[in-house]
Amino acid sequence: MPAKDAPSPRTRRDRLLITGAAGRIGRLLLPALADRYELHATDREAAEHAGVPIHPLDITDAAALTDTIATADCVLHLAATHLGHQKDLGPEAYVRSTVEVNVAAVITLLAAAVEHRVKRVVLMSSLTIHLGEPWRDRIPADAPVRPNSLYACTKLFAEQLAELHHRKDGLSTISARLGQPYPTSPWFGLDAMSDPGNRGCAATEEDIVRGTLAALETQTRLAVFNLLSACDQPVFDMDAGRRIGFKPRDEMTAAGPVDRFPSKPRLIP
């Protein structure tokens, strides 16, 4: 089924539905996306960030999610139950929430995107699909996946279901395997960058924004890429990102990130 006709740039911008907009990554992205899209930001509860209203949406409510997607030109899917929720929820509730949010809701979202002729779905996937033991010092593009958790398995499922919908239904899908945002906490700050494995998994806020914009704006209709900063001792292949126009701004070193293009303005001041 063909996607919705592209709107004229003189009449309106594409309407971008964002799920999980109140999370760390959502809050980071909202200011840059608001300059480029007509945003419909959503999360479990109503909120506001950077002047953007965040509307309540329970993505496990299939009817509500489908109705919301019906009005979107593009979708950026950030919402997920992740490893950090396990301690708060307890083992059984964590598994149940992971299946409901990371699996069932993704099934609904992608089917609704096909039904309503959405032009592009960008899924925020995870580098954890490659981080299972034993650790590999170099992970090329053709390396077999090695999920390290239930969460990682659900992210791999979402990527594969997206590829199926592209092949079967013509849906344009880009999956961004996000690394560890830097800096996020004392355990993944500057001290952790002395380990080449850690800095090879790092993504600065600047590069998270750049990679997400590349995923939304590329002419490529199907891709899976590693959303990482560059690294002086790279672990992961970055060719797929380059092919969709993602050029990391920062390079991770033991001394922290180094700006590769210091004469150019940054997206994150």
Does residue 68 sit within a domain?
A: yes
Residue 21 has pLDDT above 70, yes or no: yes
Query: Is residue 190 a part of any domain in this protein?
Result: yes
Among candidates 252, 203, 206, which has minimal Cα distance to 231? Answer: 252
Looking at the domain assignment, is residue 46 inside a domain? yes
How far is the C-alpha of 130 from the C-alpha of 137, rounded, in Å?
11
The confidence score (pLDDT) of residue 9 equals 41
Confidence check: pLDDT of 10 > 60: no
Q: Could you tell me if residue 263 is inside a domain?
A: no
| Domain membership of residue 133 as a residue range | 15-255
**131 located within any domain:** yes
Nearest Cα residue to 20 out of 73, 96, 112, 85 = 85
Residues in CB range of 235: below 8 A, 6 or more apart: 136, 137, 138, 139, 196, 197, 200, 201
Domain containing residue 150: CATH number: 3.40.50.720
At residue 184, the pLDDT reads 81
Residue 260 within a domain: no
Q: What is the pTM of this model?
A: 0.94
CA atoms within 13 A on the CB side of 173: 27
**Domain tally, the chain:** 1
Within-domain flag for 7: no
Query: pLDDT tens, 166-207?
Result: 999 999 999 999 999 999 877 899 999 999 999 999 999 999
* Chain centroid, CA 58 distance in Å: 19
Of 3-12, 18-27, 129-138, 180-189, the poorest mean pLDDT is in: 3-12
CA distance 116 to 17: 13
Q: Is residue 5 part of a domain?
A: no
